[in-house]
Amino acid sequence: MTRSADAIVVGGGIHGASVALHLARLGIRPLVVERHAVATGATGRSDGLIRMHHDFMPDAQLAWWSFRYFQEADELIGPGCGFRRTGFLQFVRPGLIERLRANVGELQQLGIRTSLVSASEIRSLAPMLAVDDETVAAFEPESGYADPAGTAMAFLEAARRMGARLVQGRRVTAIAVRAGRVVGVKTDRGGYSAPIVINCAGAWAAEIGRMVGLELPVKVWRHSTAFLRLPPGLPADFPAVFDDANGLYFRPEGSSSMLAGLKDESETGGPPDRETMTVPSGFGERVAERILTRCPSMAAGTFGAAHSGQDGITPDQKAIIGQVGPDGFYAACGFSGTGFKTAPAVGAALSELVTQGRSTTIDISPYGIGRFEKGRLLVGTYPYDPMWR
């Protein structure tokens, strides 16, 4: 294999795959270097939610621009995305209802199809959900979920058709820098030269940054997910739900199960190479307890399985996207467990920045690394509680 490329993308998850495809569309020959196999890191453990509701509007814009890639995946990238439309409900604590209302208004101004729904409307949309008469939520009828690993593979296959290359089972051990500019990477199976290196390494992002003398404010973030079997007679046709009032989220999984997680049981720190087959003691019981507060009919359901996943998280739980460190070194990392749905837009915008010096598709300037030095952490105009707490 040729040991040179126009650009090297470190990481074969959804963001590395999207960056590779969009670089290839701009005439750049990228090489994706993956330490294990495609989508075996954070992407393979993603819940795959596709939703536009955010309390930080640049995040919503990235998700909205990306949405068509999931809706029209077969035409835009090829088969494998597996998007399923379920609708999406966002609940917040009672004290944040006015912020919910304000954010729905801002999202509508972006062109997103969303609205506030009353308790009676929620009961009609999802009879399985327990709500009191004062409850309101935001509803997106077009949202749903997709297959994260399948989507990453589809992006990479499309990129390879346009000249991108992929090498798997190669761990990056060093990044070569000469006269203040990156010139390539070294791996445990040889080196590759390129004038551009893009860090899409997920939980390993900080480790990759240190190879150019850069301390990225990204910590390893670990999160667990449970799979619950639905009781007989309960169809998997309910919306995906973010239930901030109960620190819970869930969505259908296939035709007979539910995927669920907790918002306040994540861990930060530790090595990125830890196994992800185990979960904290009692995790399944705690998920079940909270599910029953919102879905009493799940009392007859059964526990299926659980696993963990790891990503990189930043102090404001927002991504780092842009040029960082020496010339030619870029990053798309620190997505804090919420980056799958925005990956198409991130790949397009970052590829424009790399090739043209600026992004013209969508503004990614808020996600620059300089915000941490200036103490300007990203927060929405009408913020909710942090996603992970």
Render 191-227 in DSSP notation, one character per residue.
Answer: EEE-S-EEE--GGGHHHHHHTTT---S-EEEEEEEEE
Which is nearest to 194 in space by CA: 40, 339, 32?
32
Confidence label for 198 from pLDDT (cuts 50, 70 and 90): very high
Paired tokens of 54? 């955010």
Give per-residue pLDDT as tens, 350-361: 999 999 999 999
d(CA 365, CA 259): 34
Paired tokens of 246? 């109960």
Residues 6+ apart with CB under 8 A from 56: 318, 378, 379, 380, 383
Give per-residue pLDDT as tens, 334-388: 999 999 999 999 999 999 999 999 999 999 999 999 999 999 999 999 999 999 9
Residues 6+ apart with CB under 8 A from 127: none
**What is the per-residue pLDDT for 185?**
98
Q: In CATH, which of 3.40.710.10, 3.40.50.460, 3.50.50.60, 3.90.76.10 is domain 7-45+148-218+316-373?
A: 3.50.50.60
Residues of the chain with CATH 3.30.9.10: 85-144+219-309
Confidence label for 243 from pLDDT (cuts 50, 70 and 90): very high
d(CA 43, CA 39): 5
Give per-residue pLDDT as tens, 274-332: 999 999 999 999 999 999 999 999 999 999 999 999 999 999 999 999 999 999 999 99
Give per-residue pLDDT as tens, 200-209: 999 999 999 9
Question: What three-state secondary structure class fits 13?
Answer: coil
φ, ψ dihedrals at 191, nearest 5° = -110, 165
Write the CA distances from 197 to 28, 124, 174, 175, 236, integer angstroms.
12, 50, 12, 8, 43
Using the predicted structure, report yes or no on whether residue 2 has a pLDDT greater than 80. no
Give per-residue pLDDT as tens, 125-168: 999 999 999 999 999 999 999 999 999 999 999 999 999 999 99
Burial (Cβ within 10 Å: 0-12, 13-18, ≥19) of residue 347: buried
Confidence label for 106 from pLDDT (cuts 50, 70 and 90): very high
The answer to whether the beta carbons of residues 266 and 223 sit under 8 Å apart is: yes
Which is nearest to 314 in space by CA: 173, 223, 218, 180?
218
d(CA 143, CA 249): 15
Residues 6+ apart with CB under 8 A from 27: 355
Q: Which fold has domain 85-144+219-309?
A: D-Amino Acid Oxidase; Chain A, domain 2 (3.30.9)
d(CA 94, CA 134): 9
Confidence label for 1 from pLDDT (cuts 50, 70 and 90): low
- Angle (CA) 12-17-21 rounded to 5° is 145
Give per-residue pLDDT as tens, 7-57: 999 999 999 999 999 999 999 999 999 999 999 999 999 999 999 999 999
d(CA 341, CA 146): 9
**What is the per-residue pLDDT for 110?**
98
d(CA 301, CA 85): 23
Q: How far, rounded to the nearest angstrom, does the alpha carbon of residue 246 sit from its chain's CA centroid?
A: 22
Which is nearest to 79 in space by CA: 179, 155, 189, 163?
155
Using the predicted structure, report yes or no on whether residue 230 has a pLDDT greater than 80. yes
Confidence label for 237 from pLDDT (cuts 50, 70 and 90): very high
d(CA 66, CA 344): 5
Residues of the chain with CATH 3.50.50.60: 7-45+148-218+316-373
Across the strands, what pairs with 249? 242, 261
The answer to whether the beta carbons of residues 66 and 159 sit under 8 Å apart is: no
**What is the per-residue pLDDT for 149?**
98
